[in-house]
Amino acid sequence: MSHALPRRAFAGLALLPLLGCTAPPARAQRGAAPLVTLPDFADLAERVLPAVVSIAVTSEARAEIPAELRGTPFERYFRDRLRGRGQQVMGAGSGFVIDPSGLLVTNNHVIGNASRMQVTFQNGEEYPARLVGMDELTDLALLRIEARNPLPSVSWGSSSALRVGNWVLAAGNPFGLGGSITSGIVSARGREIGAGPFDDFIQTDAPINPGNSGGPLFNTAGEVIGINTAIYSPSGASAGIGFAVPSDLARGVIDQLRSTGRVERGWLGVSVQDVTSEPGAARGAAAPAGVLVAGVERGSPAARAGLRQGDQVIAINGDRVETSRALVRGIAAIAPGQTVRLSILRNGRPTELPVQVGRRPAQPPG
Rounded to a whole number of angstroms, the CA Rg of the chain reads 26
Active site residue 109: yes
From CA 90, how far away is CA 87, in angstroms rounded? 10
pLDDT tens-digit profile, the chain (366 residues): 434 433 333 222 222 222 333 334 444 455 555 666 778 899 999 999 999 999 999 887 665 655 655 666 656 655 666 555 555 667 889 999 999 999 999 999 999 888 899 999 999 999 999 999 999 999 999 999 998 899 999 999 999 999 999 999 999 999 888 889 999 999 999 888 877 778 889 999 999 999 999 999 999 999 999 999 998 887 777 888 999 999 999 999 999 999 999 999 999 999 999 887 554 444 444 455 789 999 999 999 999 999 999 999 999 999 999 888 889 889 998 989 999 999 999 998 999 999 999 998 876 544
Residue 81, helix vs strand vs coil: helix
Phi-psi sector, 237: left (phi>0), alpha (psi -120 to 50), beta: beta
Report DSSP state, residue 156.
B
Active site residue 155: no
Active-site annotation holder among 109, 135, 205, 300: 109
Smallest CA-to-CA distance from 121 within 142, 149, 88 is with: 149
Smallest CA-to-CA distance from 134 within 155, 113, 152, 120 is with: 113
Active-site annotation holder among 135, 139, 200, 311: 139
In degrees rounded to 5, what are phi and psi of residue 364? -65, 135
CATH topology of domain 266-277+288-359: Pdz3 Domain (2.30.42)
Residue 100 sits at the vertex; the CA angle it makes with 95 and 157, to the nearest 5 degrees, is 60
Active site residue 139: yes
Q: Would you list the domain boundaries of the chain?
A: 49-145, 159-260, 266-277+288-359
Smallest CA-to-CA distance from 230 within 239, 218, 219 is with: 239
CATH topology of domain 49-145: Thrombin, subunit H (2.40.10)
From CA 212, how far away is CA 185, in angstroms rounded? 17
From CA 216, how far away is CA 154, in angstroms rounded? 9
From CA 242, how far away is CA 229, in angstroms rounded? 8
Domain 159-260 classification at class level: mainly beta
User: pTM value?
Assistant: 0.76
Active-site annotation holder among 213, 238, 300, 324: 213
349 contact partners, CB below 8 Å, separation of at least 6: none
Shared fold status for 49-145 and 159-260? yes
